[in-house]
A and B are shown apart, each in its own frame.
Chain A
Amino acid sequence: QQQVKQSPQSLIVQKGGISIINCAYENTAFDYFPWYQQFPGKGPALLIAIRPDVSEKKEGRFTISFNKSAKQFSLHIMDSQPGDSATYFCAARVAGSARQLTFGSGTQLTVLP
């Protein structure tokens, strides 16, 4: 019930291409869906987040698309750059839960120059 499924496990994209990472969930009590970016040797950093009353959120080259009926959300990175190479985690939070976030399994993105 708490699980968030993330795919693909790894992704290789050419510079300038579009990177797409998908996540799916079952628990309809989730009310907040952040994406974290983690570089090697660093902690995760919040990249962008969305709430279920919004179908899309864009910040620069990063866009979250949210499909409430399908219980899916995805991260799109437009004009992918080598500096975007990192591990990306989707996550979800149940309102009122002290445990905060349930993380997806992660996607290792490599953007080739």
Chain B
Amino acid sequence: DTEVTQTPKHLVMGMTNKKSLKCEQHMGHRAMYWYKQKAKKPPELMFVYSYEKLSINESVPSRFSPECPNSSLLNLHLHALQPEDSALYLCASSQGLAGGPRTGELFFGEGSRLTVL
């Protein structure tokens, strides 16, 4: 079982809805990530948090809003999404950012499957 827990596993929303994806890890990791994955494609980085501060935003549209309430939790707030935003959203964590032998090893959750109607 993964040590990164994501909820919900499945989400269907309309283009005018507001919803949130949640991610939790209890490994003491200080870096957390959101990735987006389309079918048969590799994960694409969206956001990186390090020590609860946003470190990287990969030019993600503002209809995706990340939040890191504490070192164990990561949220992704969704608003006014488009059908093309339908994808598997993956949360990941690592001990820290890249630098040491083990700090960069990424642990992924099972993902939240999002469908935008």
Contact = CB atoms under 8 A, between A and B. Distances in A.
A44 interface: yes
A95 B100 CA distance: 8
B41 A105 contact: yes
Interface string B1-30: 010101000000000000000000000000
Nearest to B50: A98
A108 B40 contact: yes
B58 to A, nearest CB: 8
B104 interface: yes
A113 interface: no
Q: How large is the interface on A (under 10, 10 to 19, 20 to 34, 35 or more residues)?
A: 20 to 34
A96 B105 contact: no
A106 B104 contact: no
Contacts of B99: 95-96
Interface in B42-64: 42-43, 45, 48, 50, 55-56, 58
Nearest to A46: B105
Given A42-B110, A43-B2, A46-B106, A100 B42 contact: no
Contacts of B58: 99
B42 A104 contact: yes
A32 B60 CA distance: 26
Given A43-B108, A93-B104, A98-B55, A103 B98 contact: no
B66 interface: no
Among B41, B56, B104, B105, the one with the most A-chain Cβ atoms within 10 Å of its Cβ is: B104
Interface of A: 32, 34, 36, 41-46, 49, 51, 87, 89, 93-101, 103-106, 108
